[in-house]
A and B are shown apart, each in its own frame.
Chain A
């Protein structure tokens, strides 16, 4: 069973701090990794994709991938209350199938 694991949280950080979200996956053959943000009652929205080991930065977001350790993380700098949401880690395990983690709830305190 291919799995994607996330801490369910909630992760609570003060406004302006760095939020760090982590994800591990079981399938060593996985090649592409995604972070989605999901506000309560809304559908997931793609915020980052990463395919190679290392860091990828986009604005306040940085995705980090370490295939040897089978983890991917998302850093949110200068966290804002509007970042409060559930963050879903998703892994393409081969073919076109994507497995989603259960998500980490983030709460940014004003």
Chain B
């Protein structure tokens, strides 16, 4: 079946502009995650959505970052007033957790964001 999809694959923007990144999870997956990966670094957790529960926003680095998930499916990560340090690959993952333990995540191809 179809995996996690993300768009755009690449985004180049100017400092100060707003950007929107989209994630379409695997059909039926109730949990959706956003991560950020800077060049040569590990994955930095940003936010997750699980079913109808309030999202865990504890990883968002500043109030310029926000995310929403509409209808329990597609999610959009918005970065306002982009800064050069926001340049990174933004990865989305989804999962169908049986419970809080059994939670294998599957990643999309990522969006490479470059802020000039």
Contact = CB atoms under 8 A, between A and B. Distances in A.
Given A32-B101, A102-B41, A103-B42, A96 B56 contact: yes
| Main SS class of interface, B | loop
A31 B100 CA distance: 9
A81 B42 CA distance: 23
17 contacts: A31-B100, A34-B104, A43-B91, A44-B91, A45-B107, A46-B104, A49-B104, A88-B42, A92-B101, A92-B103, A95-B56, A95-B100, A98-B45, A98-B103, A98-B105, A99-B45, A100-B35
A60 interface: no
B114 to A, nearest CB: 14
Interface residues of A, number: 24
B50 A96 contact: yes
A96 B100 contact: yes
B55 to A, nearest CB: 10
B108 interface: yes
Given A88-B42, A96-B50, A100-B43, A43 B108 contact: yes
A23 to B, nearest CB: 12
A88 B101 contact: no
Contacts of A45: 107
A44 B104 contact: no
A54 to B, nearest CB: 16
B35 to A, nearest CB: 8
A14 interface: no
Contacts of A97: 45, 48, 56, 58
A73 to B, nearest CB: 18
Interface string B34-58: 0100000111010010100000101
B102 A102 contact: no
Contacts of A95: 56, 100
Interface in B27-86: 31, 33, 35, 41-43, 45, 48, 50, 56, 58
A103 B50 CA distance: 26
Given A32-B101, A32-B102, A88 B43 contact: yes
